[in-house]
A and B are shown apart, each in its own frame.
Chain A
């Protein structure tokens, strides 16, 4: 049985993606990322040396500051900051700039569902724009589960509220490589199938979660192609 989506999308269809980088002059790197009406701005400052607090002689340090659209930061923002920080730490090559701090500032412009995945995508694009050394990119997606176990991707705010559960997933982007295929698998699965981050809300059968994983992976392949394309240097005619 199918569920009609309010905006007429098919279950697997993502909202239109838009990514612009270098949108801020004073930041070392920045990007804005839109998925439909959800829009997030990310700015990166750093790596800066000598901000004593969290410095580590062996690793670069990343700090994330989450600015909500309106009002004060609360527990939700603290949690998002922590998830984002740990997600970004896992894709950055931290050993290259020890004793430094890189700040990532997230400004929510508009929230129409899948906010955290959208922010992760924005932060990732901004890190590339700032030239921070990365192991690979991260691609984030939201899967929503209906009562019947039906999965829809990239929900709007209204869909998020109506559904019984949702899952935020972050995967590495698919790797373009000249190596034979076999080199890039881990435990029989391609590297890009490994989960960097998973956050869920609402109870669901375990099998439905595994189903979300499959659908999420399929969708992130498309998104990583988009991300790669949008990060390529623009031709002057653009």
Chain B
């Protein structure tokens, strides 16, 4: 279905609620009669998934720069560890998915969320160091201060770290990284690459 040339702005009517379902960038008025745009962009109509019980076409607004992404439960993030304490590490969320965020969000990784197995044997200081770049998943919106992050999956954990000599280290196992210059081995919760 075409009809994606019409430019709309917030508050413009997209159609009647009896004919359309509100998709991205659209909402239904409180009286359930009208679908309005909530963003600036192109009015776009897509067919509902064939297995959906509701067979109304979906009207959405696309093409505009939406606001910068914010972390939500389930998002994969890339964060820089800022501080490592006995029971948790704090980290600045710098990328959401593969996109960078404009301004940092604070996240914390609690001791119990580092590994999926042998949780009681995990040592915070053998998992992360300040400055490490980690890939993590957002567990929840957390508390007032930080999002709760987890690295308890094979593909999550440290993806880049510097050795004491100041050079990027190479992962040699699930728990170790090695400095290519000094040969020194440091402990980390290392992320597995690829699939």
Contact = CB atoms under 8 A, between A and B. Distances in A.
The reply to whether chain A is a binding partner of chain B is yes
Interface of A: 55, 57-58, 95, 98-99
Interface string B121-160: 0000000001100000000000000000000000000000
Contacts of A95: 166
Interface stretch (B2-10, B58-66, B75-83, B180-188): B75-83
Contacts of A98: 130-131
Interface in B60-94: 80-83
B168 to A, nearest CB: 14
Contacts of B83: 55, 57, 99
- Which label, helix, strand, loop or mixed, suits the secondary structure of the A interface? loop
A57 B166 contact: no
B82 A55 contact: yes
A30 to B, nearest CB: 30
A58 B129 CA distance: 10
A95 to B, nearest CB: 7
A49 to B, nearest CB: 10
B130 A58 contact: yes
Nearest to A95: B166
Contacts of B81: 57
A99 B130 CA distance: 9
Nearest to B81: A57
A55 to B, nearest CB: 7
A129 to B, nearest CB: 27
Contacts of A57: 80-83, 130-131
Nearest to B92: A57
